[in-house]
Chain A
Amino acid sequence: MIGGLFIYNHKGEVLISRVYRDDIGRNAVDAFRVNVIHARQQVRSPVTNIARTSFFHVKRSNIWLAAVTKQNVNAAMVFEFLYKMCDVMASYFGKISEENIKNNFVLIYELLDEILDFGYPQNSETGALKTFITQQGIKGQFQTKEEQSQITSQVTGQIGWRREGIKYRRNELFLDVLESVNLLMSPQGQVLSAHVSGRVVMKSYLSGMPECKFGMNDKIVIDKAGKGGVTNEAGKSTSGKQSIAIDDCTFNQCVRLSKFDSERSISFIPPDGDYELMRYRTTKDIILPFRVIPLVREVGRTKLEVKVVIKSNFKPSLLAQKIEVRIPTPLNTSGVQVICMKGKAKYKASENAIVWKIKRMAGMKESQISAEIELLPTNDKKKWARPPISMNFEVPFAPSGLKVRYLKVFESKLNYSDHDVVKWVRYIGRSGIYETRC
C-alpha cells in the first residue's frame, strides 16, 4: 500500500506529487528531500526510514522517484512498481528527464490515477493503458461506443493485457535474448564470482488470441525428456546438446504459472507489441567472452608501468562490439603515456582512469595496451587501493548458453498456423560489472 509518490529533479524540487493515503502528509515531501537528496553523505540504501515513514526510491538519470508509505509493505513489490512505472513513462514520452516530465505532467497524473488505486498497484501494461490513456485528447470523440465498451471489458476481464479482434496481415514475432554477464576475477585468472542475468524480450504482431509456447534448453526439461523417452531418437539427439541450469526466473503476468509449475512449460497468450516475457539468472557454466590479463609494476615511488592484455574467447566467426577497458590510475597521477596496438586509448583525468576503446574484435584474438604512469610523490603514507580493471562489451551470443528451442503459436479460431508466423530470434550478450583485479 503505497501512501504517496513523488518525483523530484536533481535539485530536490518536486515535479510530481501524488498522495494516495491520508497518513502521508505534505511534510513527507520535504523529509525525503532533506534526508536523502540533500543528505551530507550519499544515501546508498534505496529504502530510507524517516520518522516511521519508509521511502523507496529509484533514480533515473537526474530524476528521483520516491514511493512513500507508513505501512509494512512488500518492498520488492514497491520497487517492481517503480520500475514498471519508469517503463510506462518511457513508452509514453521516451527518456525520463526533467523536461519531459514537465511537458507531460497532466499525462503522468492521469497514469498515476490509473496504475495505482488507493496505493494498490493496478494494471500497468503499457499496451492496455495506451488504449484508454492517450496523448491526443480529441481521440475520445471518435471512439465508438462499442470500442469504449470493449476497452472496459478488456481492462476488467480475465485477459487484461490483450484485447480481442486484433488483426495483422502479416503475423510476425520478434524474440530477443538479452543477457548481462558479471564477473570478478583475481589477477591470476581465478574466477571469484560470476553470474549472468538475462531477459527474454518479445515483440509480437499476431492476429486474434493466439496461444504461444516457448521452449529453451532448460536442464530440467531436457533431462526429463531424456528420461521419459530413451527410445526416442530426437530425445537422444537433444540430450547430447548442452543444457543450462537456471537458478531462478520470473515471468510476465501473461504466462500461465500453473502450467510452468506442473510441466515446466512456458505457455501464454501474448500481449500485443513490446513486452518482457521472462527474466532469469544463471551461475553455472558461463562462457566468459573476454579474459583480461593485467600486469602492474611499480618503478620507484614516482613511476608505474601497466600492461593489460585482453583475449576474446568465443567463435572466431563472431564479432564483439563496443569494447571498452577502463584501467584505474592512482590518485597522485601526474602524467600518462599510452601505447596500444588496436583501438584508441586515452587518460581521463576526471575519472582517474585510462579508457581504451576498441570498436570491433573477432573471437579468439588478443590485443594489448601498455602505459607508463608518472606519479607525484605525496607525504601521504596511504597505499593506493588498486581498484579492479573493468570492461564493457557487446557480443552476439548468450554467455549463459541459453538457446531458444522453439516458439510455437496456435490460433484455433483464425486461419493461420505456426508455419505462417515469421519469427525472428536474436541473442545479445552485454557486460554487466565485468572486473579483473590487478
Chain B
Amino acid sequence: MPAVSKGDGMRGLAVFISDIRNCKSKEAEIKRINKELANIRSKFKGDKALDGYSKKKYVCKLLFIFLLGHDIDFGHMEAVNLLSSNKYTEKQIGYLFISVLVNSNSELIRLINNAIKNDLSSRNPTFMCLALHCIANVGSREMAEAFAGEIPRILVAGDTMDSVKQSAALCLLRLYKASPDLVLMGEWTSRVVHLLNDQHMGVVTAAISLITCLSSKNPDEFKTCVSLAVSRLSRIVSSASTDLQDYTYYFVPAPWLSCKLLRLLQCYPPPEDGAVKGRLVECLETILNKAQEPPKSKKVQHSNAKNAILFEAISLIIHYDSEPNLLVRACNQLGQFLQHRETNLRYLALESMCTLASSEFSHEAVKTHIETVINALKTERDVSVRQRAADLLYAMCDRSNAKQIVAEMLSYLETADYSIREEMVLKVAILAEKYAVDYSWYVDTILNLIRIAGDYVSEEVWYRVIQIVINRDDVQGYAAKTVFEALQAPACHENMVKVGGYILGEFGNLIAGDPRSSPLVQFNLLHSKFHLCSVPTRALLLSAYIKFINLFPETKATIQEVLRSDSQIRNSDVELQQRAVEYLKLSSIASTDVLATVLEEMPPFPERESSILAKLKKKKGPGAVSVELEDGKERGELNGGGDRGGDAAIAASNASTPSPSADLLGLRSAAPVSGAAPSAGSLLVDVFSEAGPAAASAGVNDDGFLSALHAPEASDSPLVEGPGDSDSAPTSAASEDPAPPLPESDELLNKFVCKNNGVLFENQLLQIGIKSEYRQNLGRMYLFYGNKTSVQFVSFSTTVSCPGELQSQLNVQTKTVEPLVEGGAQVQQVINIECLTDFVDAPLLNIKFRYGGALQNISLKLPVTINKFFQPTEMAAADFFQRWKQLSQPQQEAQKIFKASHGMDTEVLKAKLLGLGTALLENVDPNPENYVCAGVIQTKAQQVGCLLRLEPNAQAQPGEQMYRLTLRSSKDTVSQRVCDLLAEQF
C-alpha cells in the first residue's frame, strides 16, 4: 500500500459533510451547497495549480454533492488528472468519481481510457485492480471496445497476481454481459477453463462465474470444463471443513464455489466419461449424506450455506434426470424440508419438488408427500408458499389421486388468496378434465367450482364444460339434473346461469319427466334469474327459451308472452331486441318440423385442444408465445363467439361434422387417457416450459407435432439475413417493391395442404403463425406475426396480392395491422378469403418492416389451396361407385404414380386425407389397404364433386414403396390441381 499523505482524513470534507448534516431545512442545505460549489469553482479556476491533496478533497466534495442529488457539471477534468497521480488515495478518488459520474463523453473518455491503459500496463497490482474495477463499473460500450482485447490477456498471463486475476475475470464477465459481441473468443478461452485448476480459491470462484456465463452461450467451446469442474467439486466436497482455511464459511468448505460449480454443470448434459460421472455421482451422494449429518453449528449461516449447496445439487440431479436413485433421495430430502420451520426452506422444497414431480423416476416418490403438501396448502401462513404448494399439487396429480387433489383444491379455493384464485380455478378445471374417469364427477366438480369461485371462472372454463357435456351422451341427463338443482339456490353466479341456460336449453327434455322439474318449472327457474344477468347472458337465455319452445311445445305460449313483453321486444340493447323479435317470429311462423330442424340439438364439437390450457399458458407469461402460436391462443375466444349464440347453433347444425372420439383434452395420441405418467409428464413440460416447447408438445397434439417437424427446417434455412450482414444488401437495402417470393415458399405451401394451423415462416427476427378455418367457399385466416427480437419493428406493413388470373378466381380481403410491433410482442391479422372459382396459384403475402433501420422485405405464398374449400361427403359404397363411373371421361381423371417419401403409416395417412378436407370412406374399396375419399369443392361459381382413391403398395421394401393416386372430378383443372397438391404429401 502506498504511503498515506498528510491529513488523509481531509478535514475540509468532514466539516462540509457535518455542515450539511446539521442543516435544518432543505433551503439551508441548498445554500450551503451553492456556497461550496462557488468555492470549488473559484479554486479550480484559480491561476495557481492545486496540489493533489486539495484536488482530491474538492473532487470528493463534488462527488458527495452529486450523491446528494445535485447536478455536477464541472470537475471532470480534475478527476481525470487525479488518475495519473501516483498516490493510491488520489487515484482511488479519481476512479470513484469517474465510475459514478462520467457518461460517454467523447473527449474525456479518450483521456480516461488512456489513464486506464497506463494503469493496466503498470506492474502495480493495486493500480491494475483499480483500473479493472473502473472498467467493470462503467461497463459502457466504449470501454468494452477499448479493453475487450486487453483483459483476457491479463487474465491468462502467467505472471499476473491472483488478486488481479480475480478482478480481471469479473471485469470480463461484466463486459461480456453488457456487450457480448465485443468480447471475442480466442485462444484464451481454453486457458480460462484451466483457471479452474488454479491454486487460489478466489481466482477459481471469480473464473467460474465467467465460465458459466460464457459456456451457457457457447457450450461446445467450454466442454472441457466439465471434468475439471467435477474434480474440483469432489476435492471441495471431500475436504474437511478446516482444509480450506479462509474459504470455509461456518464449517462449510467454500459454499459459493460449490454452488457455482454445480450451476456450471447444469449447463451440460451428464458427462459421458464413466469415471467422471462416477465421481460426480459420488459427490452428489456425499452432499446428500452431509445434509443428514447433525449441524456443526447452530448459527443460521451454517445451515444456509449447507442448504444452498444441497439445493443446487438437487437442481443438478433434476437437470440430469437420469439417476433414479439420486432423484428419490433428493425427493426424500426435500420431503424433510417440507416440514421445516424455516419458511424459505419450505418454499424452496416445494418449488424443487414441482420439477421433481415431472420426472418419471421420482414422480411416485413425490406422491408420497401428498398429505404434507395438502397440509401446507391449508395451514401455511405465507401466500407465496401456498402458491407453490398449489403448483406442486397440480404437478403431482395423476389418475390415482386426482379426486383427492381436486377436492382439496376446491375446498382450499373458498379461503384462497385473491391473487391466486383465478390460476387455482384454471388448474382445478384442467385437472378435473384431464383425469376425469367419471363424467358426472367432472360436471359436479366444475359446477362446484363455479359456485365457490364464480368470479374467477373465466369464460373458457364454462365453454369447456358445455363442449364436454355435448360431446358425451352419457352425462347429459346427469348434467341437466345437477344444473337444475344448482340453479335452485337463491343466489347463483352468472356463470352458473350461463351453463344452466345452455344445458337446460339443450337437454332440458331429459329431466322433464320428473314433475319436480317439469318444463314450466325449468323455464320459470331460468327466467327468475333473467333480470339479474348482464346482456350477453340474457341473450343466451333467450336462445335457451327458443330451444324450450322446440323441446316442449306446451311452454310455447308462456315463452312467447315473455318474448313479446316490452322489456324484450323493445329492449334498448340491439342484440336482445333482435333475438326477441326473431325468435318470436320464428316460433309463431315456422311449423314444428322447421322448428325442430332449425333448433336441433347441437352437434358434437370437433375435438380441439382445451382452451383452458391455452389460458393457463397465457397466464404464465409472454415467454410461451411460440407454443401458443400452434395451439391457437385466440381459439378460446373464437369458440366462445361461436358457442354462445343460438344463431351460431342454427348455422352449425347444418354442417355434419364427423363425430370425433370424444377425447377431453383433444389429445390425438393413441391412448391419451390411459397414457398415465409419461404423457402427463410431457404435458407438464408443455405447460410450464418457456423455451424449446416444440419437442415437448410433440406428443400432445398433432398440429404441434407437424410444426415441430417443420420448424427446424424453417429456422435453419437462412431466408432473410440479419440486419448486420453485409451480404444481404439486396434484401436489406431493397426498395419498397415487394421482394420476389422466397424460393422455399412453394415448399411452405405444400406443408399446409393438409393442415390449417402452424408456423408458416420463421427467421431470426420474425415468426409467422397461421390459423385458418374454412366453411363452404369462404375462409378466414388468422396470421400471427411474432417479433422474436427485443427491439420493436417499425413501419410494419403487410399486403396480400393475387397475381395474374388469380385475381378473378379468389377474393381476398385483409385488415391492416398496427405499424408498430413491440419487441417480443405478437400482432394478429385477419384475412377473409372467398373462392370465386377454382384456381391453381396461391396468393402472395408481402411483409415489410424496419428492424433497427434496415428495411426487411419478405414475400411468401399464402397457403390457400383449392382443397381448402372441400366439404366432406359421406356416401355408401354403391353410391360411390355409381358416381365414380359417371366421371369416366378421360379429362375428368387425373392419375399419378409416385414414390413414397415418408413411411406408410396408416394413421398418418388417414390424418392427412382427413386434413385434405374430404371425407374418408371406410368399407368402400374392396381392398382394405386402399383409401377412398369424397368431397365437394365449394366455389362461388359452382360446386365441383371430387372422388379420390389412393392405392399404396405397402408390402414393398421400404424405399421401393409407391402410391397410385387417382382423382376424378367434374372439372378437369380441379382433378389435376388436387392431384398435384396431394402427390407432394405422401
Contact = CB atoms under 8 A, between A and B. Distances in A.
Interface in A349-407: 349-352, 374, 376-380, 382
A376 B34 contact: no
Interface in A324-356: 331-335, 349-352
B31 A378 contact: no
A42 interface: yes
B38 interface: yes
Interface residues of A, number: 19
B42 interface: yes
Nearest to A382: B73
Contacts of B381: none
Contacts of A332: 41, 73-74
Given A334-B45, A350-B34, A350-B35, 18 more contacts: A331-B37, A331-B73, A332-B73, A333-B41, A334-B38, A334-B44, A335-B45, A349-B37, A350-B38, A352-B34, A352-B38, A376-B44, A376-B45, A376-B74, A378-B73, A379-B73, A379-B76, A380-B74
B813 interface: no
A219 interface: no
B24 A335 contact: no
A218 to B, nearest CB: 40
A229 B199 CA distance: 113
Interface string B72-96: 0110100000000000000000000
Contacts of B44: 334, 376
B648 interface: no
A302 to B, nearest CB: 8
Interface of A: 10, 42, 62, 331-335, 349-352, 374, 376-380, 382
B105 interface: yes
A246 B35 CA distance: 44
Interface string B98-141: 00000001011000000000000000000000000000000000
The 7 closest A-B pairs by CB, nearest first: A349-B38, A380-B73, A334-B45, A350-B35, A350-B31, A334-B41, A378-B73
Contacts of A382: 73
User: Taking chain B's interface residues, is the majority helix, strand, or loop, or is none over half, making it mixed?
Assistant: helix
Interface string B436-472: 0000000000000000000000000000000000000
B74 A349 contact: no
A351 B42 contact: no
Contacts of B107: 379
Contacts, number: 50
30 contacts: A10-B24, A10-B25, A42-B26, A62-B24, A331-B73, A332-B74, A334-B42, A334-B44, A334-B45, A335-B42, A335-B45, A349-B34, A349-B37, A349-B39, A350-B31, A350-B32, A350-B35, A350-B38, A352-B34, A352-B38, A374-B45, A376-B41, A376-B45, A378-B73, A378-B74, A379-B74, A379-B76, A379-B107, A380-B73, A380-B74
A351 B25 contact: no
Interface string B700-734: 00000000000000000000000000000000000
Contacts of B24: 10, 62
Which bucket holds chain B's interface residue count? 20 to 34
Contact of A62 (B25, B38, B39, B41): B25
Nearest to A9: B24
Contacts of B31: 350-351
Interface centre among B25, B34, B41, B105 (most CB of A within 10 A): B41
Nearest to B25: A10
Interface string B22-61: 0011100001101101110110110000000000000000
A332 B40 CA distance: 10
Interface centre among A351, A379, A380 (most CB of B within 10 A): A379
A72 B811 CA distance: 62
Contacts of A378: 73-74
Interface centre among B31, B39, B107 (most CB of A within 10 A): B31
B35 A349 contact: yes
A422 B678 CA distance: 109
Nearest to B33: A350
Contacts of B108: 379
A374 B38 CA distance: 11
A39 to B, nearest CB: 10
B108 to A, nearest CB: 7
A374 to B, nearest CB: 7
Contacts of A374: 45
A350 B36 CA distance: 8
B38 A333 contact: yes
A377 to B, nearest CB: 8
A372 B37 CA distance: 19
A91 B31 CA distance: 32
Contacts of A376: 41, 44-45, 74
A333 B45 CA distance: 10
Contacts of B76: 379
Interface centre among B37, B38, B45, B108 (most CB of A within 10 A): B38
A398 B25 CA distance: 36
B913 to A, nearest CB: 66
A42 B30 CA distance: 13
Nearest to B42: A334
A335 B43 CA distance: 10
Contacts of A350: 31-32, 34-35, 38
Contacts of B45: 334-335, 374, 376
A334 B105 CA distance: 23
Given A62-B24, A333-B41, A335-B42, A351 B34 contact: yes
Contacts of A379: 73-74, 76, 105, 107-108
A10 B31 CA distance: 17
A376 B24 CA distance: 30
Nearest to B34: A350
A392 B417 CA distance: 63
A333 to B, nearest CB: 6
Interface centre among B25, B32, B35, B73 (most CB of A within 10 A): B73
Contacts of A352: 34, 38
B305 to A, nearest CB: 38
A378 B78 CA distance: 12
A335 B45 CA distance: 9
Nearest to A377: B74
Nearest to B43: A334
Contacts of A377: 74
A333 B74 CA distance: 11
B624 to A, nearest CB: 38
Contacts of B39: 349
A11 B38 CA distance: 28
B370 to A, nearest CB: 44
Contacts of A351: 31, 34
A2 B218 CA distance: 68
Nearest to A349: B38
Contacts of A335: 42, 45
Contacts of A331: 37, 73
Nearest to A329: B38
B580 to A, nearest CB: 44
Contacts of A334: 38, 41-42, 44-45
A37 to B, nearest CB: 10
Contacts of B105: 379
A207 to B, nearest CB: 48
B11 to A, nearest CB: 21
A334 B39 CA distance: 8
B429 to A, nearest CB: 37
B45 to A, nearest CB: 4
Contacts of A349: 34-35, 37-39
A382 B72 CA distance: 12
A326 to B, nearest CB: 14
Contacts of B74: 332, 376-380
Contacts of A380: 73-74
Interface in B178-203: none
Nearest to B26: A42
Nearest to A353: B34
Interface string B170-184: 000000000000000
